[in-house]
């Protein structure tokens, strides 16, 4: 799978039987990421047989406890399991101080290095990039400065048209053709025109994660056309007053955002503990955007290119 998302937690701030606070495990182009890390995240990783050793990047949207209080136990477990590889941690200012205080007063020194990447959640910025993917922050509208994350695959290599292969073609020729290059001999004469031997690259996929936020139209340009959108849906429309007070969204508003952004699929989560029947929220969102699913514990959403 080019992109695989497993939901570890779907609950809002208050505990609810059978639900865990927000956390998600994302694999994109073989990069293993954790998005938010609510209480019990490492137990959920174990439950769904997701290796904590493979996690390379952790993204924390904001410093409300239900989004990061599972982090220190996870970091200590990585230490006890003799992790040696670096861990990249992306978060607003302050989380680095919190972690260092824990280490200071527990007199602990981790076996591995944490590389902190501090971002300003009020600004849309590129915070991670390599040859295969990029990650941008998505400024949200919440009581505490908060950012979502847009994960996007880069343009993929062109595909070799196997029916057009010719005798004498070398492996380095094929590698260059995949990059979109034409092939010339040492005298500068054209050997192979790229468009004659390749097919267009596979589509690049994107995942937009919008954690705690009120209805926020400023998001629309950044998430437009996303293959997969997660948007919080803490309340039903009948409780919109509570949503406005706490700067959260209703399920209907999540559906409206998905519809206006013309995304391909919507996932909703961060459900208030007051709702026992989550299908009420699902139905409300689907009135505005039919291709909506509940982002509940253990559900996996996979996209192929």
- Please report which helix (H) or strand (E) contains residue 178, including its range: helix 171-178
pLDDT at 272 over 90: yes
- Same domain? For 241 and 280 the reply is yes
Contacting residues for 87 by C-beta, under 8 A, at least 6 apart: 55, 56, 57, 58, 75, 78, 112, 113, 114, 115
**Tens of pLDDT, residues 19-45:** 999 999 999 999 999 999 999 999 999
Instruction: Out of 88-97, 181-190, 202-211, 218-227, pick the least confident.
Output: 181-190
pLDDT at 213 over 90: yes
Q: Within a 13 Å sphere around the CA of 161, how many CA atoms are in the beta-carbon half?
A: 13
DSSP class per residue in 44-61? HHHHTT--GGG--EEE--
pLDDT at 188 over 80: no
pLDDT at 258 over 80: yes
Secondary structure E strands in 106-234: 114-118, 126-129, 133-139, 147-153, 159-160, 183-184, 190-192, 198-199, 206-210, 228-232
Q: Based on the structure, what is the number of domains in the chain?
A: 2
- Same domain? For 135 and 269 the reply is yes
- Same domain? For 61 and 192 the reply is no
Q: Smallest Cα–Cα separation from 204: which of 108, 118, 134, 272?
A: 134
pLDDT at 182 over 80: no
Mean per-residue pLDDT of the chain = 93
- Same domain? For 53 and 186 the reply is no
CATH code where residue 100 lies: 3.60.15.10
Q: Kindly name the residue from 36, 66, 212, 227 that is annotated as catalytic.
A: 66
- Point out the domain boundary residue: 142, 176, 199: 199
- Point out the domain boundary residue: 172, 199, 226: 199
DSSP class per residue in 23-48? EEEEEETTEEEEEEE-TTHHHHHHHT
- Please report which helix (H) or strand (E) contains residue 150, including its range: strand 147-153
- Same domain? For 36 and 122 the reply is yes
pTM given for the model:
0.90
Alpha-carbon gap, residue 203 to 135, rounded angstroms: 17
pLDDT at 199 over 80: no
- Same domain? For 66 and 208 the reply is yes
Alpha-carbon gap, residue 54 to 302, rounded angstroms: 18
pLDDT at 158 over 80: no
pLDDT at residue 1, as a whole number: 62
- Same domain? For 42 and 106 the reply is yes
Alpha-carbon gap, residue 65 to 103, rounded angstroms: 18
- Same domain? For 25 and 120 the reply is yes
Its domain, for residue 188, covers 159-199
Cα–Cα distance list, 265 to 141, 205, 223, 268 (Å): 22, 12, 12, 10
Q: And the tokens for 82?
A: 């003799």
- Point out the domain boundary residue: 174, 199, 224: 199
Q: And the tokens for 265?
A: 């699929």
Alpha-carbon gap, residue 251 to 259, rounded angstroms: 12
Do the Cβ atoms of 37 and 299 come closer than 8 Å? no
Alpha-carbon gap, residue 265 to 289, rounded angstroms: 9
- Quick check: is 145 catalytic? no
**Tens of pLDDT, residues 52-109:** 999 999 999 999 999 999 999 999 999 999 999 999 999 999 999 999 999 999 999 9
pLDDT at residue 129, as a whole number: 97
- The radius of gyration computed from the CA coordinates of the chain, to the nearest angstrom, equals 22
Give 14's pLDDT tier (boundaries 50, 70, 90): confident
């Amino acid at each position: 799978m080019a992109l695989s998302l497993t939901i570890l937690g779907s609950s809002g701030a208050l505990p609810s039987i059978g639900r865990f606070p927000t956390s998600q495990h994302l694999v994109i182009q073989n990069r293993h990421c954790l998005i938010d890390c609510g209480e019990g995240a490492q137990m959920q990783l174990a439950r769904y047989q997701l290796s904590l050793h493979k996690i390379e990047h952790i993204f924390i949207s904001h410093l409300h406890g239900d989004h990061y209080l599972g982090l220190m136990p996870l970091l200590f477990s990585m230490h006890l399991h003799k992790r040696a590889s670096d861990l990249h941690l992306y978060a607003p200012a302050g989380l680095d101080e919190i972690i260092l205080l824990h280490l200071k007063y527990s007199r602990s020194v981790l076996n591995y290095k944490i590389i902190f990447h501090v971002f300003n959640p009020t600004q849309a910025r590129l915070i991670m990039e390599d040859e295969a993917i990029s990650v941008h922050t998505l400024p949200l509208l919440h009581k505490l400065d908060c950012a979502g994350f847009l994960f996007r695959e880069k343009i993929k290599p062109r595909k070799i048209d196997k029916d057009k292969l010719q005798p004498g073609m070398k492996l380095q020729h094929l590698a260059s053709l995949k990059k979109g290059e034409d092939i010339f001999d040492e005298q500068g004469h054209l050997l192979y025109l790229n468009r004659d031997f390749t097919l267009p690259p596979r589509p690049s996929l994107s995942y937009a994660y919008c954690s705690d936020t009120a209805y926020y139209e400023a998001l629309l340009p950044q998430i437009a056309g996303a293959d997969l959108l997660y948007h919080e849906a803490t309340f039903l429309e009948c409780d919109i007053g509570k949503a406005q007070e706490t700067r959260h969204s209703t399920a209907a508003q999540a559906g409206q955002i998905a519809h206006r952004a013309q995304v391909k699929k919507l996932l909703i989560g961060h459900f208030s503990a007051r709702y026992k029947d989550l299908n009420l929220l699902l139905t409300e969102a689907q009135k505005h955007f039919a291709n909506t699913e509940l982002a509940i514990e253990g559900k996996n959403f996979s996209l192929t290119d």
